[in-house]
């Protein structure tokens, strides 16, 4: 059933050169999807696209773009629409986080994070959604995080940006009810990818029980999207953490999260 959803359809994947994005590309190509790969690294994207096209006999396109700069998402959407193919699915995966006190982050870096994690995702959804609604099929898999369920001291901008993604997705899912277009937020817990190195954080010992591989996280995320789950948290431990964040006092959750980050040397 899941193969039928993607086979012969075009899928746009942002942040496709590594981590989740690369795994989405590999798994969706194996399901017969044609790929539009986007990130900043043209060489990596072309190598990945050629490999997957040869292995799975699917088509691919490469659109190099930096979504953290002003106008990047608008430009990407226009370039994708100009390809002349029907984009049925969008994996809004591009994003980054930085650990440490907000007072040391700097306004420029904070703005770039919001532009990539929130603005780019919103712009791409706004520009690529109308054709899907007109056709009565397609959808968006928005990559959020369990950090979006709670305050995240020492990663406050990142956590807030992912809370936006979760609520944006849930709101649109209700708007799109009955249209044939799906809207799903994938909310991973800690995963061993290049994200941690870029963010300057490490997976804490107490989190290791909740760690899934990138490949497994993506596999479960795709199946949740196929099942039309609006919000999906992969892993039992991560699900429990999300539930606890909903019912415990917000100040208590923030204090516990802040202490964990301090123990990891981010404060």
Q: If we measure between CA atoms, which residue out of 139, 106, 125 comes closest to residue 224?
A: 139
Q: Are 144 and 164 in contact (CB under 8 A)?
A: no
Write the CA distances from 17 to 37, 163, 201, 219, integer angstroms. Answer: 8, 25, 21, 17
Write down the catalytic residue from 44, 127, 154, 158: 158
d(CA 218, CA 195): 15
d(CA 234, CA 127): 29
**Under the phi-then-psi rule, with left for phi > 0, alpha for psi from -120 to 50, and beta for the rest, what region is 133?**
alpha
Active-site residue flag, 154: no
Write down the catalytic residue from 154, 162, 164, 225: 162
Q: Tokens 């959407």 — which residue?
A: 77
Structure tokens at 59: 């088509």
Write the CA distances from 109 to 17, 131, 181, integer angstroms. Answer: 21, 33, 34
Q: If we measure between CA atoms, which residue out of 74, 176, 72 comes closest to residue 123?
A: 74
Catalytic residue list: 158, 162
């Amino acid at each position: 059933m899941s193969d039928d959803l993607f086979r012969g359809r075009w899928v746009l994947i942002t942040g496709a050169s590594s981590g989740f994005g690369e795994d989405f590309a590999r798994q969706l190509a194996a399901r017969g999807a044609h790929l539009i790969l986007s990130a900043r690294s043209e060489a990596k994207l072309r190598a990945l696209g050629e490999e997957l096209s040869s292995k799975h006999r699917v088509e691919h396109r490469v659109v190099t773009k930096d979504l953290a700069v002003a106008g990047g998402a608008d430009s990407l959407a226009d370039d994708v629409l100009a390809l002349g193919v029907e984009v049925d699915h969008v994996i809004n995966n591009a994003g980054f986080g930085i650990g440490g006190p907000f007072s040391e982050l700097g306004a420029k870096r904070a703005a770039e994070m919001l532009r990539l994690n929130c603005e780019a995702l919103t712009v791409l959804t706004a520009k690529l959604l109308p054709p899907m609604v007109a056709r009565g099929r397609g959808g968006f898999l928005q990559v959020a995080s369990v950090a979006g369920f709670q305050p995240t001291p020492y990663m406050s901008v990142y956590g807030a940006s992912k809370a936006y993604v979760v609520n944006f997705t849930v709101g649109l899912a209700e708007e799109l009810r009955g249209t044939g277009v799906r809207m799903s937020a994938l909310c991973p817990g800690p995963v061993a990818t290049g994200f941690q190195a870029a963010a300057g954080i490490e997976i804490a010992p107490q989190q290791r029980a909740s760690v899934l591989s990138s490949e497994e996280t993506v596999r479960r995320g795709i199946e949740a999207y196929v099942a039309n789950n609006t919000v999906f948290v992969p892993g039992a431990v991560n699900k429990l953490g999300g539930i606890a964040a909903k019912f415990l006092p917000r100040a208590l959750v923030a204090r516990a999260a802040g202490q964990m980050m301090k123990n990891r040397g981010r404060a």
